[in-house]
C-alpha cells in the first residue's frame, strides 16, 4: 500500500510539472545595453507576457514593413493602444489591467498576456522588439543560393573552348593587352594606365553599334562584352583601336542549356525546356 502511494505521488508530481510548464509564458529578455529595451523571438504558438507600468508607455516593434491590421483586447478600457505602422504603443490605464491582447498584422498573429504595476523601478518595459529566427535563416539560405547561382553563372565548363586569336591595331592609350572569347562573351583586359574606352561592334557595311560592357567583379582589369564579333572598335576621345577576331565563328557555339552559363539550365514552367 505504501509503494502504491509513492507511485501515485510520483505520477501526480510529474503531472503537476507538465501542467505548470504547458501554460508557461514567454518573457522578453533585456538587451545588452539597457535592460528596459527587450527582445523576444517570434513563435506563433507562444503567448508573450508583457508588464506595463502606470504612467509609462511601451513600444512593441514588429518586423520592418509589417503593418498592424487589427487589435483585439480582452478589456479595452484597461489599456490605451495606438498602432503606428509596425509599432504598437500600449499604456495601462485601468486599476485592474490584467487582460489579454491579440494583434493581427499583414504577416502574422501575436498573442499577449498583459498586466500592470505601479512600481517605477526594476524590470521596466520601455520597448519590446520581436526577432524572427526562421525569417533570418530563410534569408541566409536565399543569400547563399544566390551566391552559388552567381558562381555557376560565371563559371566555365570543364575543357571549355577559348579563342585567343585576336589582333589589336591602333592607339596604345585604349588598346587592351589581351582579348579573347569563349564563344559567348568577349573579354578585354587592360593595363592599369589605360583609359577605359567605349566599345563598338564594327559591321561589314561600316556602321557601328555601341555596346554596354560590364566590369568583371572578380577581375577589375577586365571588361566583358556579351557578344562575339569579327571586329570591335575601341574609342576614347581622339584615341582609337581596332580589335580583330581572327577566328570568328559566325555560327557560334551550340547552347544546350538555354542560358549563358554551362552550369545553369533553363526550365520553362510546365516542364518544357
To which H or E segment does residue 200 belong? strand 198-202
Spans of the chain, pLDDT less than 50: 1-4, 7-22, 158-159, 254-262, 264, 266-268, 271-273
Q: Is residue 65 a contact partner of residue 165, using CB atoms and an 8 Å limit? A: no
Reduced to 3 states (helix: H, G, I; strand: E, B; else coil), residue 140 is: helix
pLDDT (0 to 100) of residue 158: 47
Nearest to 233 by CA among 242, 224, 225, 244: 242
| C-alpha pair distances (Å), 207 with each of 142, 186, 201 | 45, 20, 8
For residues 94 and 124, the answer to whether their CB atoms sit within 8 Å is: no
DSSP 12: H
* Domains with residue ranges and CATH for the chain: 23-136 (2.60.40), 166-245 (2.60.40.2500)
How far is Cα 137 from Cα 255, in angstroms, rounded to an integer? 36
**Residue 90: what pLDDT?**
96
Range list of H helices, the chain: 2-22, 133-154
Report the distance separating Cα 98 and Cα 51, nearest Å: 9
Question: What is the Cα–Cα distance from 234 to 36, expressed in whole angstroms?
Answer: 63
Chain centroid to CA 183: 34
Stated pTM of the model: 0.48
pLDDT at residue 114, rounded to an integer: 95
Q: Three-state DSSP class for 125?
A: coil
**Distances in Å between the alpha carbon of 219 and those of 150, 153, 181, 194, 215?**
15, 15, 15, 15, 8
In the block, residue with C-alpha cell 559567348 = 184
Query: Which uninterrupted H or E stretch holds 40?
Result: strand 37-41
SS3 20: helix
DSSP assignment of 241-263, as one string? EEEEETT--TT----SSSSSSTT
Amino acid at each position: 500500500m505504501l509503494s502504491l502511494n509513492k507511485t501515485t505521488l510520483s505520477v501526480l508530481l510529474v503531472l503537476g510539472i507538465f501542467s505548470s510548464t504547458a501554460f508557461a509564458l514567454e518573457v522578453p529578455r533585456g538587451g545588452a545595453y539597457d535592460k528596459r529595451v527587450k527582445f523576444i523571438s517570434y513563435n506563433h504558438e507562444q503567448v508573450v507576457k508583457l508588464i506595463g507600468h502606470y504612467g509609462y508607455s511601451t513600444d512593441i516593434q514588429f518586423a520592418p514593413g509589417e503593418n498592424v491590421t487589427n487589435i483585439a483586447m480582452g478589456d479595452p478600457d484597461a489599456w490605451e493602444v495606438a498602432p503606428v505602422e509596425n509599432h504598437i504603443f500600449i499604456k495601462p490605464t485601468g486599476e485592474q489591467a490584467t487582460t489579454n491582447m491579440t494583434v493581427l498584422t499583414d504577416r502574422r498573429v501575436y498573442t499577449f498576456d498583459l498586466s500592470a504595476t505601479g512600481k517605477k523601478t526594476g524590470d521596466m518595459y520601455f520597448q519590446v522588439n520581436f526577432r524572427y529566427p526562421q525569417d533570418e535563416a530563410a534569408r541566409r539560405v536565399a543569400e547563399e543560393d544566390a551566391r552559388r547561382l552567381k558562381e555557376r553563372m560565371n563559371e566555365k565548363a570543364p575543357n571549355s573552348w577559348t579563342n585567343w586569336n585576336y589582333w589589336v591595331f591602333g592607339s596604345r592609350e585604349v588598346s587592351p593587352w589581351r582579348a579573347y572569347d569563349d564563344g559567348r562573351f568577349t573579354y578585354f583586359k587592360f593595363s592599369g594606365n589605360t583609359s577605359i574606352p567605349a566599345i563598338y561592334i564594327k559591321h561589314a557595311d561600316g556602321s557601328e553599334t555601341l555596346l554596354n560592357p560590364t566590369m568583371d567583379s572578380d577581375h577589375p582589369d577586365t571588361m566583358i562584352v556579351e557578344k562575339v564579333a569579327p571586329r570591335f572598335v575601341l574609342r576614347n576621345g581622339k584615341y582609337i583601336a581596332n580589335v580583330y577576331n581572327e577566328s570568328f565563328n559566325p555560327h557560334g557555339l551550340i547552347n544546350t542549356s538555354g542560358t549563358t552559363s554551362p552550369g545553369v539550365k533553363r526550365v520553362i514552367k510546365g516542364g518544357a525546356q
